[in-house]
Amino acid sequence: MKLRNTPAAVAAVALLALTATACGGGSDSGSNGDKITVGIKFDQPGLGLKTPDGKYVGFDVDVARYVAKELGYTEDKINFKQAPSAERENLIKNGDVKFIVASYSINDKRKKEVDFAGPYFLAHQDLLVRADDTSITKVEDLNSKKLCSVTGSTSAQNVRDKLAPDADLQQLGGYSECLTGLQNKRVDALTTDDSILAGYASQKEHQGKFKLAGLRMSDENYGIGLKKGDDELRGKINKALEKMVSDGTWEKLVKEHFGPSGYKYEPAPKVQG
């Protein structure tokens, strides 16, 4: 049937469009019918990495898959979206994602904008050094060393401002650049969360070349970020995280993604109610 361009026809088209939108699950929910969009990192080995062949791998990625499955979404119904650190709150508030699993440390500032389920992992700021380096055993040893981190990193500032003010801080564009500098002896240490450092050290091409200093310079409780006030979803995700720990999946995933680095990880933290 061909609709004529009449007021009645225009109204009918508008009604159909409105009905279709309502049936689609809403554009601000991070889900579309039987699919769900989840935010992860694309550039963090061991945690969240998009490989050259388009696959998504890492501890956070597998946590996201487990949680989504418990929410009723099979793997083929998950759409992964890149969630850079500076954009995470906006992605959640704008409804671009349903939740975010991306080395997302819970803190009071972020809790003003979004809610968190979890925590599901306890990381610490640490140092990555060359495997044969015995000169750095405590933070103070950095006072005569070249320390590398990414531009604007709070981890690097923490060391320089509070722990080792005389460290020669080198700020580069990415952790991969710092790692190359560490391997070539242009810098002496790389600092950020130990989970991120372990991810790099666990990569096949890096195994045996680096080690974590084990200094634990901060506590970073990773949580799953979601829209503020969505208590129902938060409760469901917390139950999924508790199940992941109790059925042994959490331990299995930690060993799989971080084990090759020799990383001494913390036990699974208690999920907050």
Helix (H, G, I), strand (E, B) or coil at 50: strand
Structure letter (DSSP) for residue 153: -
3-state SS record for 101-151: CCCCECCHHHHCCCEEEEEEEEECEEEEEECCCCCCCCHHHHHHCEEEEEC
Mean pLDDT in residue range 86-110: 95
Report whether 98 contacts 29 (CB < 8 A): yes
Burial class (CB in 10 A: 0-12, 13-18, 19+), 21: exposed
Structure letter (DSSP) for residue 174: -
pLDDT (tens digit, 9 = 90+) per residue, 170-200?
888 888 899 999 999 999 999 999 999 999 9
The CATH fold of domain 27-123+220-261: D-Maltodextrin-Binding Protein; domain 2 (3.40.190)
Backbone Cα Rg of the chain:
22
How many angstroms separate the Cα of 43 from the Cα of each of 11, 93, 155? 48, 23, 18
What's the CA angle centered on 262, arms 162 and 222, to 5 degrees?
Answer: 55
Range of weakest confidence among 66-70, 157-161, 235-239: 157-161
Q: What is the pLDDT of residue 24?
A: 38
Burial class (CB in 10 A: 0-12, 13-18, 19+), 218: middle
| Residue 261 pLDDT grade (very low, low, confident, very high; cuts 50, 70, 90) | confident
* CATH code given to domain 125-212: 3.40.190.10
Mean pLDDT in residue range 32-44: 90
Give ranges for CATH 3.40.190.10 in the chain: 27-123+220-261, 125-212
How many angstroms separate the Cα of 207 from the Cα of each of 58, 157, 161? 16, 28, 32
pLDDT (tens digit, 9 = 90+) per residue, 102-135?
999 999 999 999 999 999 999 999 999 999 999 9
Give which of 212, 155, 148 is closest to 184, Cα–Cα.
Answer: 148
Q: Show the tokens assigned to 265.
A: 């990880």
Percent of the chain with pLDDT over 90: 70
Give which of 30, 126, 116 is closest to 79, Cα–Cα.
Answer: 30
